[in-house]
Amino acid sequence: MIRFEPRTRAPLALRLTMQMAAVAAALALAAIPLALAGAPLWRAFGLMVQGAAGSAFALTETLTRATPLIFTGLAAAVAFRARLYNIGAEGQLYMGALAAVAIGTGAIAAPPYVLAPLVLLAGAIAGALMMLGPTLLRVRLGVDEVVTTLLLNFVVLLFVQMMLEGPLKDPMGGGWPQSEPILPEGSLPVLFARMRLHAGFIVALIASLALHVLIARTVLGLKIRAVGENAAAARYAGISVAGVMVVVGALSGALAGLAGASEVAGLKGYLTSDMSRGFGYAGIVVAMIAGLDALAVVPAAIFIAGIFVGADTMGRALGVSNYIADLIVAMSLLCVLVSGLFTRFHLRFR
């Protein structure tokens, strides 16, 4: 029989070990469907590592894929810190991308150092506004934000499809439902010649650092932590819980919106309704693996991105469906959640 006894605090080394163990367990579990698909296991994992980090190009591809995941991971981390469960990063990402193309495809003419930041800002504001409704419903009427934000994802996706079939459709797009391309002045520059890694990655790193400083060192950050850990005590101490929630919601939505804006302005150039491969949802996994820590979101996002990119390479070489990546990511989340048991409890075997 196994018994669980609560720990008062877990040492950092134990937490790190547990995260690593969780990831290892997820990969081990992923070996089962891989083997069932008839893939040679060592070669499959070897190809994944090679595809994710085997060359300078592979590395930049992984970092490119990590960029939106850092943003959505931060969006989930800040919201979950305040116990505001924003599951709507996917929708906020698309709204951010939509606002970016609305501003960046010719509506405004400005030099690059003005237009590119404006495009990002538009994305952030659109994402923040998307979170306003669910947050206000939560703080005023107690409506569960998990439900509202999750369902809004589908509403937003349909709205984006409508816009791409209608007012925002590129007349030169050969009939495909896609937006006009972002002007060169509104695009984010690539960081290395002949690579796709763009300045959005730098913005994501800055966002991670800024969020870390905000949470750990500012008065607002302390209020966010207090509200998340014990809203009743925060209210009793004179902190406006509703106010903090609205700010956190806006911040979370803005970060998710930045993910969308940076994708269209840095990578794709134009918006399609299949732009995100579940980045909004994967951001939740990233945040959980990072233990809701803003700095840890960066390595967690790079890890998840590496799985996506590596699985693509492996899938192409071995003829295994690249859905294996989603499977590994999902298992990583489950394993991380289970590993949380080990950091919160002592296990006693008898």
Partner 1 sequence: MALDPNAPLVLKLVGIGKRFGALSANEAIDLELRRGEILALLGENGAGKTTLMNILFGHYVADAGTISVAGLDDTLAPLAPGSPQAALDAGVGMVHQHFALAESLTVLENVVLGTRSLASLNLDLSGARRKLIALMAESGLDVPPDRRVSRLSVGEKQRLEILKVLYRGARILVLDEPTAVLTPQEVGGLFAVLRRLVASGLSVIFISHKLNEVLAIADRIAVLRAGRKVADRAAAGVDRAVLAELMVGHDITQSRRTPRAPGPPLLMLTKVTVRDPHRRAGLASASLTVHAGEIVGIAGVSGNGQSALAGVIAGTMAPTDGVVTLDGEALNPTPHASIAAGVGRIPEDRHHEGIVGALSIAENLALETLRGAFLKFDAMRTRAAAAIRAYDVRCPGPDAPIQLLSGGNIQKVILARVFERAPRVVLANQPTRGLDVGATAEVHRRLLEARARGVAIVLISEDLDELLALSDRVAVIARGALSPPLAVESVTKEQLGLMMAGHAEAA
220 binds partner 1 (CB under 8 A): yes
Only one of the segments 62-70, 220-228, 288-296, 320-328 lies at the binding site for partner 1 (rule: CB under 8 A); that segment is 220-228
User: Using CA atoms, how far apart are residues 252 and 152, in angstroms rounded to an integer?
Assistant: 15
The pair phi, psi for residue 40, each rounded to 5°, is -70, 120
- List 186, 221, 253, 266, residue binding partner 1 (CB under 8 A): 221
Structure tokens at 40: 């040679």
1 binds partner 1 (CB under 8 A): yes
Structure tokens at 227: 């509200």
User: Using CA atoms, how far apart are residues 197 and 93, in angstroms rounded to an integer?
Assistant: 19
Contact 85, 113 (CB under 8 A): no
141 binds partner 1 (CB under 8 A): no
- List 136, 202, 222, 330, residue binding partner 1 (CB under 8 A): 222
- Would you say 13 or 172 has its CB closer to partner 1? 13
Per-residue DSSP letter, 272: B
Sign of CA dihedral 116, 119, 124, 125: positive
CA count, 13 A, side-chain hemisphere, 118: 19
The pair phi, psi for residue 270, each rounded to 5°, is -140, 170
- List 233, 337, 338, 341, residue binding partner 1 (CB under 8 A): 233
225 binds partner 1 (CB under 8 A): yes
- List 234, 246, 298, 324, residue binding partner 1 (CB under 8 A): 234
CA count, 13 A, side-chain hemisphere, 97: 36
CB of 243 to partner 1, least distance (A): 11
9 binds partner 1 (CB under 8 A): yes
238 binds partner 1 (CB under 8 A): yes
For residue 28, list its beta bridge partners: none
- Would you say 167 or 238 has its CB closer to partner 1? 238
CB of 250 to partner 1, least distance (A): 17
Site string for partner 1, 200-219 (x = CB under 8 A): -----------------xxx
- The residue written with tokens 């939505």 in the block is 253
**Site residues (CB under 8 A) for partner 1?**
1, 3, 8-9, 217-223, 225-226, 229-230, 232-240, 348, 350
